[in-house]
Amino acid sequence: MNTIEKTDKYVFNTYGRIKKVFVKGEGSTLWDQDGKKYTDFLAGIAVCSLGHSHPAVTETISRQAATLVHVSNLYYTEPQAELAKMLVEKSFADRAFFANSGAEANEAAIKLARRYFNQKEGNRRYKIISMKQSFHGRTMATLTATGQDKIKHGFEPLVDGFIHIPFNDINALKEALLDDTVCAVMMEPVQGEGGVVAADPKYLNSVREICDKEGILLIFDEVQTGMGRCGHLFAHEIYDVKPDIMTLAKALANGLPMGAMVATQKAAQGFAVGSHATTFGGTPLVASVAITVLSIISQPKFLQDCRENGEYFREKLNSLKHNHPVIKDVRGKGLLVGMELDIEAGPIVEKCLEKGFIINAIQGNTLRFAPPLIITKQEIDSLIEVLNGIL
């Protein structure tokens, strides 16, 4: 029985898996079990931002694994303390909470916002406004916060207290705030799963102003957009708008499971001893790797290269648009790029895979590109040539 057969027989059938078994990775390259090479323009869905088997990440894993992997969060560990310090110093935040995934980080943010107002005013303010076409996770609270019905199908009844409004529509936000039961607005600065749709700068500034006026919290879900993905350490820096709470995961530990929620001291007052916890959040192993990743990605030259390569990539995709009317739009920030088609995108993904390039399709008709942030212009050119031939 081979790997595909064992997986299909013993693992829950919750993924529409592509019939490939990957066995090795280095930089932006993956190899399957037959020895075929692929250039990775997905990076584990915006996770392996330093590429596969990065020497510094490998060294950190080996060193920390030989030193200390896990102790309970009932005790202190140096890697967790140092990582929290780094995240606070490099962001708007004053406090950090560590989890294992983006969904868990968003769950923590939802709980923090609700409990913050519960401590101040009782249960009156508990509703959270999120955006249509958003994606926040697969737990019961985060899938309810998600603005896509297909994620929620079959899990009703859902968690009470979530309102969904159109993205980039400030009037819709004002209408949703007509009563005083809302505690927070939760949104992605760039909707990743929703089609790589960026917030309008005026809209994001207006959201911040309204939250301040209404006295409610602003949560930015930067699980996919953070850690350099959009050309800045955090995507909201593009807009010069600061949230009260931010969530991170995916690229934080370059493939090791880690999530984080950071918040201002004001918002952080919502949690107290015993109000929230996790067994594995911020273990010495993953925290050490996250320190290494953050140290590399936060370097100004690294982020500048990401911005420049992102602009180069979008220019090349737009050049395809001139030759192929099937392309409706090219959009994105940094190296989170979407190309909307007027046909189904799935067959394009399959043909790219045949030719040794890994991309994926979202929202049916949009190709998403989220390569390692170390991707080169030469690798981008190779993909453009293949896409041109396919189209």
CATH number, domain containing residue 357: 3.90.1150.10
**286/304 same-domain check:** no
What pLDDT, on a 0 to 100 scale, did the predictor assign at position 178? 86
pLDDT averaged per 10 residues, the chain (length 391): 96 95 98 97 98 98 98 98 98 98 98 95 92 98 97 96 98 93 98 97 98 97 98 98 98 98 98 97 98 98 98 97 95 98 97 98 97 98 98 95
**304/196 same-domain check:** no
DSSP assignment of 182-229, as one string? EEEEEE-SEETTTTSEEPPHHHHHHHHHHHHHHT-EEEEE-TTTTTTT
**98/201 same-domain check:** yes
**254/361 same-domain check:** no
Could you tell me the residue range of the domain that residue 63 belongs to?
A: 57-297
Report how many domains make up the chain: 2
What pLDDT, on a 0 to 100 scale, did the predictor assign at position 175? 96
Contacts of 133 (CB under 8 A, 6+ apart): 147, 148, 167, 191, 194, 195, 197, 363
Tokens linked to 98: 């560590």
Q: Which of 232, 267, 297 is the last residue of a domain?
A: 297
**240/350 same-domain check:** no
What pLDDT, on a 0 to 100 scale, did the predictor assign at position 120? 86
**214/355 same-domain check:** no
Q: Which of 297, 312, 329 is the last residue of a domain?
A: 297
Contacts of 61 (CB under 8 A, 6+ apart): 256, 285, 288, 289
What pLDDT, on a 0 to 100 scale, did the predictor assign at position 359? 98
Sequence letter at residue 222: E
**263/305 same-domain check:** no
Please answer whether residues 250 and 223 qualify as being in contact, where contact means their C-beta atoms are separated by less than 8 angstroms.
Answer: yes
What pLDDT, on a 0 to 100 scale, did the predictor assign at position 205? 98
**169/83 same-domain check:** yes
CATH number, domain containing residue 240: 3.40.640.10
Helix (H, G, I), strand (E, B) or coil at 55: helix
What pLDDT, on a 0 to 100 scale, did the predictor assign at position 150? 94
Please answer whether residues 45 and 37 qualify as being in contact, where contact means their C-beta atoms are separated by less than 8 angstroms.
Answer: no
What pLDDT, on a 0 to 100 scale, did the predictor assign at position 300? 98
pTM of the model: 0.97
DSSP assignment of 317-360, as one string? HHHHHHH-TTEEEEEEETTEEEEEESS-SHHHHHHHHHTTEE-E
What pLDDT, on a 0 to 100 scale, did the predictor assign at position 122? 81
**345/356 same-domain check:** yes
Q: Which of 264, 281, 297 is the last residue of a domain?
A: 297
What pLDDT, on a 0 to 100 scale, did the predictor assign at position 123? 82
